[in-house]
Structures are given as C-alpha cells and as structure tokens.
Chain A
Amino acid sequence: MLRVESLSHSFGKFLVLHDVSLEVNPGRLTALIGPNGAGKTTLYNTVSGRFRPTSGRVFFEGRDITGRPAHKIAPLGLMRSFQITNIFPHLTVIENVLVPLVLQERKAFSLVSSLAREKVLLRRAEEVLDRVGLLAAAYRPAQSLAYGDKRLVEMAVVLARQPRLVLLDEPTAGMNPEETNRMVHLIKDLAERLGTTFFLTEHDMTVVFAVAAQIFVLHQGELLAEGDPQTIRSNRRVREAYLGGSVDA
C-alpha cells in the first residue's frame, strides 16, 4: 500500500534519514517507533508531501508520489495527523470537518450556494463526528475544547474523506491515561469497522504493543528492525538502543 524505497533526507548538512525502505500493508495496523530525533516525523513529512525527500522514492498504492505537494496527496486517499494539533481553531467543530468534505465533493469553488443547505455534506460531517464521539460538541468553536478533544477533532478531520491510509503522528501525545485509552479504542475500532490502515508513531509503548500488528524501528535515521510485536520485543539491538530493558509493558 505504502512503499518507501531508499529514502534519505538531509536538512543542509544534517542527514536525518538514511536509506530507509519499508512497506505498509493494507489492513495491518503498523507502528513506527524510535527514540527522539530518530527521524520519524521527518519520514512522515517526506511521505505526506510536506517536503520532497533528498533522495529515494515513495509509492502509494503503486503510484509514485515522491515530492508531490501535500494537497495533491490527500485526494489519493492518504491523510496524516500532526504531533502538535493542527486544526482550524476559530471554526466550529463541524466546520472543521466540513472543510475536507467540501474539497472531496469538489465544491471548493462553489460560490453561490449556501453551505447551510448542503444537507448531504452536513449529514456526512455529523456521521464522522459521531464516530469519534464529538457529535455533541459540533457547534462549539474548536479552540474551546479540551486538549484531548481537540486531538479528536483532528482525527475527525483526517478521517472525513475516508482515506485508506492514515499517518498518525503521536496520536496520544500529551494525553492523560483515560484519554489515551479512549484514543486506542477508537483507533482499533476504526481500523476494524472502516478498514482504514493506520500507520502511527508513538512514544507510549503500551499503545504500540496494544494495537500494532507490524512494527518498524527507526534509530538515528536508519531502519533498525522490523517485525511483529513479539519479534521486536525480543530483538536485542532494539532493546539496547531504545527500550532500555523496560520492555515488559
């Protein structure tokens, strides 16, 4: 589904990613782990079109998307969330979700029709909000929500266009245990019900081992190991580099 081939990226003289190759298969919830500075976010950035990788290729569903700008990747069915919540703060929650929907229905340049009359769009927006549990807050300004709920808004925004692959950059960052639990259940639920493939990065190992079927380990810009949770847990190099022995999560 997503194939990364020999991807390298440097910022000036700093080589952040070196010759990374991996493949995410449809239906398998995949995780990318690694210590801070390993290059996880940079990998996401080069895949999702934030910047063009210095070298290497990215394929999505067979299509070469290397270096394509972000707005040309989303319509293909690949969406991402950000480490620092990236939503439309002064818009209401439902308006946040309507933005991707309007784009999907190609109504971005519909100048004269009233948005309030777009019943189909509104219904779909409500469905998405219901799915993440935010329907009750639909008409509140997004910035008035609690931190955890804001991340749910972003999740809703990301899911609105029914993408087939979603890159989640630390979805539980900054969340308390209860919110984290909810997020984990949500991700599992969505993966099952919608068939969306999630590719997430996380620092919280409990989350990773609870949801991931396939794990990639990144260390200092290189792919250190890959495999299912059991394999990764018992991989000595991974333990040394990253988990530091406290693997029994």
Chain B
Amino acid sequence: MAGGSWGPTKRLVGTAVPLMVMVLCPLILPVYWILVLTEVLIMGLFAMSFNLLLGFTGLLSFGQAGFFGAGAYVTAIMIAKGSTSVWLAFVASTLFAGALAVVIGYLCVRRDEIYFAMITLAFGMMLYTVAHNWIEVTGGSDGLPLLSVPELTVLGLRVSLLAPRNMYLLALGVTSLGTWCLRRLVRSPFGLMLTAVRENRERLAFVGGNVRRVRLAAFVIAGGLAGLSGSLFCLFNAMATPTFLHWSFSARPVLMTILGGSSVFLGPAVGAAVFFGLEQVTTQLTHNWMIVLGTILVPVVLFFPRGLLGTVLDLLPKRGGGRG
C-alpha cells in the first residue's frame, strides 16, 4: 500500500536513528547553528502544514501566514497577560488559528484553484491589516515583545527556554509530534479523500464525496498546525510582529515546499533546510531577500517542478504504486 515497502522494524529504525541524531546534535554544534536548526524545525512544520493543502489536497494557499501569525499573537498575548503555561499557549494558539481557518476556509473552499489562491491571499492580508492596526491588542506595527519567556514544565521539571538547547529540543519535540500527526492523517481514510480531491474532484463528488467539506477540513487542520508553529516561533523570537502575517511571509512555506517537492511527505522539511541554507549564503551578500526567493523560484517551477526531494526520488527505481 501507499507508503513504501519498508517493514515495520526498518521503519522504526529509519525514524528513531535520525531522531536520536537530532536530539544529540546540540551537544556538538555551536549555538549559532542550534538557533538555525530551531528555525528550520519550526518553519519545517509550517511548510508541512502548508503542503497538506498543496501536495495532498491540491490547494495553493497564499495566506497561511495569517494563521501562523495568529498563533504567534495568541501566545504573545497570553504571556503578556501573565500566563505561565507554555502548553496552554500551544493549545490555545492551535485552536484559535483553527477557528479562524473554519471561518475563512468556509469562504475560500467555495471556489477552485485560481480563485482560492487569490482569496487566501486577500484574507491573509486582512489578518495582517488587523495585526498591524489593532494597536490596543496587538501592539500595532511594533508587535508584541515577550517581556519574559515562561519556563517550560515537563514531567515535573522546570526548564528555561532561554537556553538555545532547550528551545531547540522543545521545537524538535513539537515538530516531531506535528509530523507524526500529519503522517497518520495522510495514511488514514481521510488522507485518501484529500488525494481524491486533488486527483479528480468531480469523480469524488459523483461517488458521494462532499468536496467542500473535505477541503474545509484540510484547511482547518493546516491552519491549526500553522498556528502551532507560529506559537513556537513567538517563543523562539520572544515576540510577535505583523510581519509574521504578511503575504511575503506566506511565501516562505510556498517556496520551501516547491524547493523540496510537494509530492513527497518530507519534501517541505527538506525544502526548509535548503531554504535556510540559502539564506545563510545570500544574507551575506544582500539584504533583499525577496528578489532572491523569486529568482530561485522561477527556475525551480520551470525546470524542477517536483522539487529537490521529488526529483531525487523520481530518479530512483520505482517501489511500486503510491499516492505520494
């Protein structure tokens, strides 16, 4: 069935080993790289949530940053109001972003592809406008800085998130959990519905599938997960700013996914790593990041539509059918 021909033992090892490596690497890496990796993880989760829409459901959304930023702001506001539980912040951010996605999604899934792209861009920017202008709540264009980052309470231990290593491990934990959830989702009957919508929504309707409802569900899950990654990002940066909701920020998961490959589950994660690698190189040369993104996106779309991971996997011998 879909997912490859690895037996359960091989799969467990295949997951456990990289995970172990990732848990242990802060012991040997300099702080700078730990910080970079943390950002890669957080944005990787964001990109994977985006790809639930693009790669699996066939929907290109240019407004996911709206949900990401919403999650960030919820966390920032909660902490500003004195909340000390990081877990609560995560839950609240995810739920709020998900709720926003229900409302906005209801309007967006009524139309297809091109319109969907336009409308998600528009509503994403609507959220940006709210964040930018609602000074009382969001602090306006300056954003909301976290005056103090709460301690994380895990299994009775109190851990300070100011240490890069701890922040990294938290990000790793949340991202792994998010990825695991996405993996299960994609392999579930619902996951089949998603790919059915992407492949042939007319056929799906004629066998009894409610296309709108499936799309809405995907949109809400993607939005919720985006909110979760936003929450992490807020903790990582110790602030929430309106930039997190701007369409140029929405461009990130788009680019990461296209770079890595939307047809492969881990494509966006690979894309996130590549993206940050590129950033390391280019920020030394120029401050103008968007033009670099755009210039890279063009040849990738034209010549490597399957992305890095997608193209590599295409070159390997086939493992038998799959919905990728």
Asked whether the complex places CB atoms of A and B closer than 8 A, the reply is yes
Partner-B contacts on A (CB < 8 A): 48-49, 69-72, 74-75, 79-80, 86-92, 95, 98-100, 102-104, 107-116, 118, 121, 139-141, 157-158, 160-161
Residues of A within 8 A of B33 (CB): none
Number of interface residues of B (CB under 8 A): 33
A-B contact count (CB 8 A): 120
Q: Chain B: interface secondary structure?
A: helix
Residues of B within 8 A of A98 (CB): 189, 192
Residues of A within 8 A of B322 (CB): 92, 141
Residues of A within 8 A of B2 (CB): 92, 95, 115-116
Q: Closest A-chain residue to B323, C-beta based?
A: A91
Verify A90–B189 contact, CB threshold 8 A: no
Contacts A108-B193, A109-B217 known; A70 to B205 CB distance under 8 Å? Answer: yes
Residues of B within 8 A of A92 (CB): 2, 321-323
Residues of B within 8 A of A104 (CB): 208
Max chain A C-beta neighbours (<10 A), residue from B185, B199, B324: B199
Contacts A102-B189, A111-B185 known; A95 to B208 CB distance under 8 Å? Answer: no
B111 at the interface (CB under 8 A from A): no
Verify B206–A74 contact, CB threshold 8 A: yes
Within the assembled complex, what's the spacing in Å between the Cα atoms of A182 and B247? Answer: 55
Q: Closest B-chain residue to A137, C-beta based?
A: B321
B169 at the interface (CB under 8 A from A): no
Verify A74–B208 contact, CB threshold 8 A: yes
Can you give 17 A-B contacts (C-beta < 8 A)? A70-B205, A71-B211, A86-B206, A88-B196, A91-B192, A98-B189, A99-B192, A102-B189, A102-B193, A108-B210, A108-B214, A112-B188, A115-B188, A115-B192, A116-B1, A139-B1, A160-B207
Residues of A within 8 A of B323 (CB): 90-92, 95
Verify B189–A108 contact, CB threshold 8 A: yes
